[in-house]
Amino acid sequence: MTVTVDELEVADPPDAWKRAGFFVDSDAVCRVGEVGIRLVGSDRGTGIIGWSLRGLPSHDPLDDLDGIPTSRSDAVTAPSAVHPNGVTAIDHVVLLSPDLDRTVAALAAIGVTPRRERDTELGGRRMRQIFFRFGQVIIEVVGSPETTSDGPSKLWGITYVVDDIDASAAFFGDHTAPVKDAVQPGRRITTLRHRDLGISVHTAVISTTPRR
């Protein structure tokens, strides 16, 4: 089976996401594309604190994936909600790794292999991005290709797809940076000042892939 993301567990209050233009249901779940974002409140920490995955191998017990709290799911995909901010799907989730080889091996153990790699820089330091496909969602693993350290990996941020990035940027107003060209050809992106909105997850929105 293909490994896909069922839910991301986020330590934020639902009201903050509602104010940011996300529709949140009565169970405190924000459904974006095929992924549910379960908002568990700020008492549990900050950011993305765990996830549930479909299609995991059944032969081994698994309660974490390279240090990320992980649970199995066989839930049927629920329909996405309509969000006033224009979000229609999750493009990618950023996973910060202190040891790229270790993280890649952990993902290989559940049957997921890299699709491509890209070297870049962050603050003058070399960084490597390794991309994996989890159904509709890309998992972008980011870490140093030169150094390693102990400690868990961390789900760090979410980039959402929007149909009209200018309209979404206008919706967020002063809480978003200027729209700019994305690395992906023909696409445009902006980052949110998420803390201003009471959201602890690093957040960006990107335009849809251009039709050929």
Is 0.85 topped by the overall pTM? yes
Residue 130 is predicted with a pLDDT of 98
pLDDT category of residue 206 using cuts at 50, 70 and 90: very high
pLDDT in tens, 93-120: 999 999 999 999 999 999 999 999 999 9
pLDDT exceeds cutoff 80 at 146: yes
Which residue matches tokens 């199995």? 72
Residue 122 is predicted with a pLDDT of 78
pLDDT exceeds cutoff 80 at 1: no
Is the pLDDT higher at 122 or at 136?
136
pLDDT in tens, 16-56: 999 999 999 999 999 999 999 999 999 999 999 999 999 99
| β partners of residue 129 | 118, 142
Residue 62 is predicted with a pLDDT of 82
Residue 152 is predicted with a pLDDT of 96
Residue 111 is predicted with a pLDDT of 93
Residue 212 is predicted with a pLDDT of 63
pLDDT in tens, 61-92: 788 999 999 999 998 888 899 999 999 999 99
